[in-house]
């Protein structure tokens, strides 16, 4: 079969191994320890040997600034015992993991590589919160946004306020995003936060950037995740439950918010999802479970509409109806999302893939397993929407 990864292609791609390190404040683990934990888990899951791996791709946003470590790909190859395998770091802000995954799919589809490791890692808690905010601001236009005092909570607050004005989203509906994701995260032993919360707790948490409050914002997290890719024709050498990559599409938009056509729409997400649906000939109604980029609660609202799960302005009603919980018509962020599961930025895109692979295999914990899931979608966003990666996964029948 011809691979559908961006339409460029010779071979179908399968995921045969996944591994993940817990997200959170990992004071006893550094960058390399997190990488080793996720990488060894993925290798064990697939039963692969280091000498069989052809390429290593590592999603990482800013290890040099967070912990002073550049040359991250070489570090990963070294401490996973994979030298002299070629290793490459991929950076696309918070979409670093998703873009690394896409490049891994292309590497397999091209016919040049037969076994590719895609990892993502970030160690963020070794610096103070103000410094972390400054580092993350490098994912926006530093000269024309961050220089004048903009932060990502402020940028997304502008989106939220405009959206509420345009479409009548209530503050309670916005808070319901966090409530749902904390509920799912409470069943995830690897989540940064495992506490259930209420709408009142969200509304009464500290104001960050009106209308966003503390419980509307994803945390600063340490974490790592890893997946192993191979041609679909070889997948059953490694696993009885291969997961096929039907499409992985990346699109771009303006770096600055003020240049956007519409700040209530992430055009990069719209374009990437439209192309992914076209390549696979499926529609949003075919998706059984989704992981979307909820760095702030408004981001999940926008994602649902931009991905075609509902019309513009209608996402809020899905929370009123409970449709986005496990057991609903479209379970979203079953691991807790970025909000509860954590947001180690370079790892997030890969972490989403790990969750969906486990969902499609039927291997997640009771309370958040989507029964009979066959088709899954991941959306990973960089910055305020300048980069978007949409991936469609399918359980092999």
Q: What is the pLDDT of residues 93-120, one digit of tens each?
A: 999 999 999 999 999 999 999 999 999 9
- Domain limits for position 111: 13-128+221-243
Whether pTM > 0.85 for this model: the answer is: yes
Q: Check whether residue 194 and residue 297 sit in a common domain.
A: yes
- Catalytic residue from among 94, 248, 264, 295: 94
Angle at 381 between CA 380 and CA 383, to 5 degrees: 155
- Please tell me the total count of domains within the chain: 2
Q: For 278-319, write each residue's pLDDT tens digit.
A: 999 999 999 999 999 999 999 999 999 999 999 999 999 999
113 and 170 co-located in one domain: no
Active-site residue 343, yes or no? yes
Q: Are residues 151 and 266 in the same domain?
A: yes
* Same domain membership, residue 316 and residue 193: yes
Assess whether 186 and 122 both reside in one domain.
no
Identify the domain boundary among 243, 275, 290: 243
pLDDT class of 8 with cuts at 50, 70, 90: very low
The verdict on residue 282 lying in a domain is yes
* Residues 311, 177 share a domain: yes
User: Is 226 a catalytic site residue?
Assistant: no
Is residue 4 one of the residues assigned to a domain?
A: no
Report whether pLDDT(184) > 50. yes
In a domain, 17, yes or no: yes
Q: What is the CATH number of the domain that holds 305?
A: 3.40.47.10
Q: Tell me, yes or no, whether 299 and 311 share the same domain.
A: yes
Average confidence score pLDDT of the chain: 95
Q: Is residue 211 part of a domain?
A: yes
Check whether 3 has a pLDDT greater than 60: no
pLDDT at 1 over 60: no
Phi-psi region for residue 322, left (φ > 0), alpha (ψ -120 to 50) or beta?
left
Candidate list 182, 192, 293, 343, residue with the active-site label: 343
**Residue-level length of the chain:** 397
Q: Are residues 155 and 46 in the same domain?
A: no
According to DSSP, residue 292 is labeled: -
116 & 153 share domain: no
Same domain, 267 and 315: yes
Q: Are both 214 and 272 inside the same structural domain?
A: yes
What one-character-per-residue DSSP string does 54-103 give? -EEEEE-S-HHHHTS---HHHHHHHHTT-TTSEEEEE-BTBTHHHHHHHH
pLDDT of residue 134: 86
What is the mean predicted confidence (pLDDT) over 187-206? 98
Domain annotation covers residue 86: yes
For residue 8, is it within any domain? no
Single out the residue of 55, 371, 89, 375 nearest to residue 245, CA to CA: 375
Residues 209, 339 share a domain: yes
Helices (H), ranges, 168-282: 171-185, 199-203, 267-280
Residue 174 in domain = yes
Q: What is the DSSP letter of 332?
A: B
For residue 319, being part of any structural domain is answered with yes
Candidates 244, 230, 190, 195; CA nearest to 37 is: 190
């Amino acid at each position: 079969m011809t691979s559908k990864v961006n339409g460029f292609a010779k071979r179908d791609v399968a995921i045969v191994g996944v591994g993940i390190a817990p997200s959170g404040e990992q004071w006893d683990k550094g960058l390399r320890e997190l990488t080793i934990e996720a990488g060894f888990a993925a290798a064990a899951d697939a039963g692969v040997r280091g000498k069989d791996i052809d390429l290593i791709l590592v999603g990482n946003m800013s290890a040099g600034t967070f912990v002073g470590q550049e040359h991250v790909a070489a570090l990963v190859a070294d401490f996973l015992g994979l030298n002299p395998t070629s290793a490459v770091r991929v950076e696309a802000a918070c979409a670093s993991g998703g873009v690394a995954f896409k490049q891994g799919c292309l590497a397999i589809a091209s016919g040049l590589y037969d076994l590719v490791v895609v990892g993502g890692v970030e160690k963020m808690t070794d610096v103070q919160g103000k410094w972390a905010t400054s580092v993350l601001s490098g994912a926006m236009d530093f000269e024309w946004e961050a220089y004048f005092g903009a932060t990502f909570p402020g940028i997304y607050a502008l989106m939220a306020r405009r959206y509420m004005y345009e479409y009548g989203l209530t503050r309670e509906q916005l808070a319901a995003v966090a409530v749902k994701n904390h509920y799912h995260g409470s069943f995830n032993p690897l989540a940064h936060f495992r506490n259930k919360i209420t709408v009142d707790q969200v509304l009464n948490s500290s104001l960050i950037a009106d209308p966003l409050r503390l419980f509307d914002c994803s945390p600063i997290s340490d974490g790592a995740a890893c997946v192993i890719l191979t041609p679909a024709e070889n997948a059953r050498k490694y696993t009885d439950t291969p997961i096929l990559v039907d499409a992985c599409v990346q699109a771009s938009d303006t770096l600055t918010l003020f240049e956007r056509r519409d700040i209530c729409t992430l055009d990069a997400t719209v374009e990437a999802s439209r192309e992914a649906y076209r390549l696979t000939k499926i529609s949003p109604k075919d998706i059984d479970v989704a992981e979307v980029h909820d760095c702030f609660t408004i981001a999940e609202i926008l994602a649902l509409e931009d991905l075609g799960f509902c019309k513009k302005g209608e996402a809020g009603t899905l929370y009123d109806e409970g449709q986005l919980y496990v057991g609903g018509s479209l379970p979203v962020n079953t691991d807790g999302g970025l909000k509860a599961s954590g947001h180690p930025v370079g790892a997030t895109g890969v972490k989403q893939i790990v969750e969906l692979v486990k969902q499609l295999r039927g291997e997640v914990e009771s309370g958040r397993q989507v029964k009979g899931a066959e088709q899954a979608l991941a959306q990973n966003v960089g910055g305020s929407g300048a980069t978007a990666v949409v991936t469609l996964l399918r359980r092999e029948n």
